[in-house]
Amino acid sequence: MSQDIVADALNIIRNAKKARKENAKIKRISNLLIEILKIMKQKNAIKKYKINSKENSAEISLGDFIDCKAIKPRFSVKKEQIEKYRRRYLPSRNIGIIIVSTNQGLMTHEEAMEKSTGGSLVAYFY
């Protein structure tokens, strides 16, 4: 286990998907990770998740995605640079989501481009 809770959680999710498991259990969670899970649920990458606040863990039912990873280092991007990183991390123009941390909270790269805001790249999945 490393110090990066988001990277650890996304690795657990990706490894469970590759092992063809239905569920994944994450042993450490944070508020940032919960917001990432909300976005993944909205985009059907995961079916559902259950947070256990007593144990500080989460149980996740996996959905339809191929890969998910944390972006390290967390690049700071301006609104004009989002397209450059979309080409770098996603396989195609209409496939995949990059999660961006802005001053308005976490959002997808599409929402950030619509709102003309920049931020820090956190993770991606497709």
Domain count, the chain: 2
Tens digits of per-residue pLDDT, 6-61? 999 999 999 999 999 999 999 999 999 999 999 999 999 999 999 999 999 999 99
**Average pLDDT for 114-124:** 97
Mean pLDDT of the region 99-114: 96
Q: How confident is the model at residue 1 (pLDDT cuts 50, 70, 90)?
A: low
Which domain range does residue 120 map to?
68-125
Report how far apart the first and last C-alpha atoms of the chain are (Å, whole number).
24
Whichever domain contains 27, its CATH number is 3.30.1370.30
70 CB-near residues (< 8 Å, 6+ apart): 4, 6, 7, 10, 122, 123
